[in-house]
Amino acid sequence: MTRPPGIPAAIDTPDILIDLDILERNIARMAESVRAKGLTLRPHAKTHKIPEIAALQLEAGAVGLTVATIGEAEVFAAAGVKDLFIAYPLWTSARKAERLRRLADTATVTVGVDSPEGAARLGAGLGPAASRVGVLVEIDSGHHRSGVHPGAAADVAQAASDAGLEVAGIFTFPGHSYAPGMPAEAAAQEQEALRAAAESLAAAGFEATVRSGGSTPTALLTDGPVATEVRPGVYVFGDAQQLELGRCEPEEIALTVAATVVSHHKARSGMPERFIVDAGSKILGSDRPAWASGFGRLMDYPAARITALSEHHATVEWHGPGRMPALGARLRVVPNHVCLAINLVDSAAVISAGEIKGRWTVAARGKNA
């Protein structure tokens, strides 16, 4: 594991650091890989929520952004992004429909739908503006969250069309790719689901011009000719989950949480040595899938594991090699799931070659609705 430059002295812990050089490399690599396959890239901005990063992604060739909520779309539209896909089966209240109408005044807006009822409600809520909002029908490709069975895609498309919406195609999120050994299988299921759903649409007279897939674990595996677009998010930063899934290398981790060792404990009555750092679930997030080896990783101590996480404490059991980091030592924690970590801070420090270049505001933080 290479040792990227450490934590600048002006950083008080805990704080989030974004390594600009690694970030730019991650953005370029995904853009090139997707372009080489003849696919379009529509990164999911829920991962970073930062307009400056969106601008880098668009400069590198992204066709637009994916977001999860109307609130996120509003933030990126206000920052000048012109093409936004809300990858979520919205159930539109009158106020949400009004917000979508306003969004459609400044950007090309596409919305997910996964039920005839949701499509009808969306169209009715938008009224005459429905023709200015496109929809993609969400397909379940094996994650079993939202999304219809591929064979039912045409029913949703028909309802959307009847409600005055433009049916642009289909999308799926192969979230079951987030498990060891699953990315390749999930990518294959994703392609089959998109194929079957496109066929369902074609049989009903709809052309699925957009066939969108791809999480970070599968994006580099996703290939034409079935998919036309991928929507990875986490690739910009990487995280401990991607590391443990083998989908990124330590050198590709662009976001870490700077932390300090605040408490130190010798081995005692069967318990190993342990230390506590001042980064807990309120800055790391507390996602921990069953297959993860802990609640995050320490960049400079690859053998160490975070065995417990409180709101402001991470407990690290120490089994070597070497001696525990000293009290007051500053170290970098890699969150398990980076999308949760960035959503816990108002801003993050931008670092290049060990120097602070400034801070970026997490402009879409907390935009849940």
Where along the sequence are the contacts to a copy of itself (CB under 8 A)?
A: 12-15, 46, 68-69, 88-91, 93, 95-96, 114-115, 117-118, 121, 140, 144-147, 149, 175, 260-265, 268, 271, 274, 276, 278-279, 281-283, 285-288, 308, 310-313, 315, 327-328, 339-340, 343-346, 366, 368-369
Q: Least distance in Å: CB of 209 to a copy of itself?
A: 24
Q: Least distance in Å: CB of 149 to a copy of itself?
A: 7
State how far the Cα of 85 lies from the Cα of 110, in Å rounded to an integer: 5
Q: C-alpha angle 130/133/135, rounded to 5°?
A: 110
**Residue (of 362, 317, 314, 315) closest to 338 by Cα position:** 362
Closer CB to a copy of itself, residue 28 or residue 78? 78
Q: Least distance in Å: CB of 36 to a copy of itself?
A: 29
Q: Least distance in Å: CB of 172 to a copy of itself?
A: 13
Q: Least distance in Å: CB of 59 to a copy of itself?
A: 26
Closer CB to a copy of itself, residue 110 or residue 260? 260
Q: What are phi and psi of 137, to 5 degrees?
A: -80, 125
SS3 347: strand
Closer CB to a copy of itself, residue 247 or residue 274? 274
Distances (CA, A) of 237 to 26, 59, 250, 298: 7, 17, 11, 15
Q: Least distance in Å: CB of 305 to a copy of itself?
A: 15
Closer CB to a copy of itself, residue 60 or residue 278? 278
Spell out the residues 6+ positions from residue 119 whose beta carbon is closer than 8 angstroms to its own: 113, 135, 156, 159, 160, 163, 165
Closer CB to a copy of itself, residue 11 or residue 28? 11
Number of other CB atoms surrounding residue 99 within 10 Å: 17
State how far the Cα of 249 lies from the Cα of 2, in Å rounded to an integer: 10
Closer CB to a copy of itself, residue 68 or residue 221? 68
